[in-house]
Structure 1
Amino acid sequence: MSEILNYIEGNKKETQRLIGLEYEQLQQLIQNAERLHHEKQAVLESKKVRIIAGGGGRKPKLSIREQIILTLVYLRHMTTFQLLGIQFGVSESTANDIFNYWLPTFRKLLPSSLIEQVKKNESDLMVVKEILTDYELIVDSYEQVRERPGDNEEQEKYFSGKKSNHTFKSQMIVMPDGRDIVDVVAGEPGPKSDITIFREYRSEFDTQQRFKGDKAYLGEDLITTPIKKPRNRELTTEQKQENKVFSAKRIFVEHRIRSVKIFRVVQERFRLNPQKYQQVILTICGLVRFRIGALVLPAEIHAIAQSKINAYN
C-alpha cells in the first residue's frame, strides 16, 4: 500500500485537501470507478483469443484504489509524472499510463454539467430546459495559459493579448445560487471574446432563457449586465449601488470557477497534450459537481434528471 493511501486512511479529514474530495465521496468514486473498470475489462476479455488460461501475466503493482488516488493527486496538485511515480513506487511511464487510463473513466462517470447529464434523454432535456427558464442563469469565462504551439498559425490563433500568452478559454454557466454547473464550454482559443463563445453555444438553451453576465457581455439582449460608465462622465450614486447589488448576485459564478481552480491542473499552465484539455476540464467540472453534492453516484441519467426537476420546482 502506498504512503499516500496509508495517510488518507489514517487522516480522513485531510482527504479533501489532498485530492479535492471528502473521504466518503472518495469511497463512492472508487466503488463506481471500479465497477466501470470491471465492465470494461469484461468486454475486452470477451474479445480475446486466449492461448494461456485467464489470470496469467504480470500483476499490476498498484491496486485499483491506488491507481484512482494517483489520478486524483495529479489533477489536484499537477506534480510531474516522475515525482508521482516516486510517491507511488512506480516508474514515470507507469504513472502516466495509469493517469491516461482512469481519466476517461472519470469523464464517463462524472457529467460535467446538468445539461450534459440529461442530454442523452431528449424528453428529460426538454423538461430541464423549460424549468431553467424560471431562473436567470449566471455566465462567465476564464482563460488558462497553455504551452506555446509549434505551428505559427496555432500560435496566432491562441495568443491572448489580455494575458500576453497563449491561452485556452472556457465558459461556465451556473444556477443563480451556484448550486450546480448548468453548462460548460472548454478549450476555445483565448483571444475569442466571451460574447462570441456565448452566442456560438446559445442553442443549448431555450430561446426564452435569461442570463446575468459582466461587462464582457454588453450588447447581448439575453444577458443582463452592469451599468456601463458613460464616456467622460461618472455613474450616479444610485447606479453604483445598483452595480454593487448586481455584482453580489453574479458572484456565485466566480465562486464556482474558483472551486474548479482548486485543482491545479486548471489553475496553472496546462502541460499535458492540448488535445486532452477539454477532457481534463470537463472531468474536473464533474468532480466539482460531485464534491458540492450536485451529482449523486451511482444513478441512471433519467433518475438524476427527475431529482433535479423535483429540486428546482
Structure 2
Amino acid sequence: MEQTLGHKQALPERKVRSMEEFLERFPEVKEVIFDGTERPVQRPKDSDKQKEHYSSKKKRHTRKHITGSTRKKRVILLTKARAGTVHDKRQLDEADLVGNIPDEVVIEGALGFQGLQNEFENVHLPHKKPKGKKLSEQQKQENREFSRQRVVCEHAHAGIKRYRSVTDVYRNRVPDFDDRLMLNAAGLWNWYLDAA
C-alpha cells in the first residue's frame, strides 16, 4: 500500500532537503500549518520507558508526530514518531523542516512552537498572554481569527484518525511500525482528498 500511495504522490514528505526541493514538490502551496498530534500507546513496563512516553498534556503514555498541512487539509509534511515527553518545538527543530521552507511560504503554528517566530521571518503564531497581564481586545480578536484559519490542521488530523489503527491504543512491539501506520494513514487521507 505504501508503494502505491508513493506512486500516487499521496504520501507526506518526511524530510525536505532544500528550498528548491520544497518548491519543486509543492509549487502551489502558499501556507503550511504545523501542529502536533499524539496517539496512545500501551503503558511500558520499564519505568524509564514509562517516563519517556508519558505525556503530561494527554495524561497518558503516547507517541507524537508533527504534521504540516495546507489550507485544503492535505498533510504534506510528517515527522518521525517520537516519545510523548518530547516538546513540539524540539521535535520540529530536530526534524529541520522549517529551515527548508521558502520565505514566501507562510508558516503558521500553535503556541507550542513559541520562539520559532524569532528564528524565521515567515512564521506566524497567536499572541501569548504576558505573565501577570491580560491580552488586549484587539489581540484576542486576532487570536480568534488566527484560530479560525488554523483549524484546518485539526480537520486533517481528524481525517487521518478515521483509520482506527492510528487512533486506538498501539500494542504492537515491532520497532517503528507505528510510524509507518501513521505515514500510510496520512497517505490514505491525502488520496481521499484527491479523489473527492
Q: TM-score, normalised by structure 1?
A: 0.53
Structure 1, residues 205-243: CA drift from partner, whole Å, max 9, x if none?
335354101111111123311111122222222111111
Specify the SS of the correspondent of 1:292.
helix
Q: Corresponding residue for 2:90?
A: 196
Gaps of 5+ in 1: 1-105, 296-313
| Residue of structure 1 aligned with 2:152, choices 252, 259, 264 | 252
Structure 1, residues 159-206: CA drift from partner, whole Å, max 9, x if none?
22222222100111011332x211112421111011111111224733
Greater relative CO (CA pairs within 8 A, separation 6+)? 2
Count of matched residue pairs: 184
| Residue of structure 1 aligned with 2:163, choices 240, 257, 263 | 263
Cα distance between partner residues in 2 of 1:173 and 1:219: 18
Q: Corresponding residue for 2:60?
A: 165
Higher helix share: 1
Matched, 1:227 2:119: no
| Residue of structure 2 aligned with 1:281, choices 179, 182, 185 | 182
The answer to whether the 8 Å contact 2:12/2:78 transfers is: no
Residues 130 and 164 (structure 1 numbering): CA distance in 2 closer, same or farther, change over 3 Å? Answer: closer
Matched, 1:146 2:146: no
Q: What residue identity is the alignment partner of 1:200? A: E
More displaced stretch, 237-246 vs 208-217: 208-217
Structure 1 residue ranges (4+ consecutive) displaced by more than 6 angstroms after TM superposition: none
Gaps of 5+ in 2: none
Higher strand share: 2
Q: What residue identity is the alignment partner of 1:182? A: I
The answer to whether the 8 Å contact 1:129/1:206 transfers is: no
Cα distance between partner residues in 1 of 2:69 and 2:195: 11
Structure 1, residues 118-152: CA drift from partner, whole Å, max 9, x if none?
98xx9x835426736x6221000011110122333
Q: What residue identity is the alignment partner of 2:185? A: I
Specify the SS of the correspondent of 1:233.
coil
Q: Corresponding residue for 1:216?
A: 112
Matched, 1:272 2:166: no
The answer to whether the 8 Å contact 1:113/1:184 transfers is: no
Task: Say which one has the larger Rg.
Answer: 1
Specify the SS of the correspondent of 2:166.
helix
Residues 129 and 274 (structure 1 numbering): CA distance in 2 closer, same or farther, change over 3 Å? Answer: same
Identical aligned residues as a percent: 23
Q: Corresponding residue for 2:142?
A: 242
Residues 115 and 163 (structure 1 numbering): CA distance in 2 closer, same or farther, change over 3 Å? Answer: closer
Q: What residue identity is the alignment partner of 2:11? A: S
Q: Corresponding residue for 1:187?
A: 81
Cα distance between partner residues in 2 of 1:163 and 1:241: 28
CA RMSD after TM alignment: 2.7
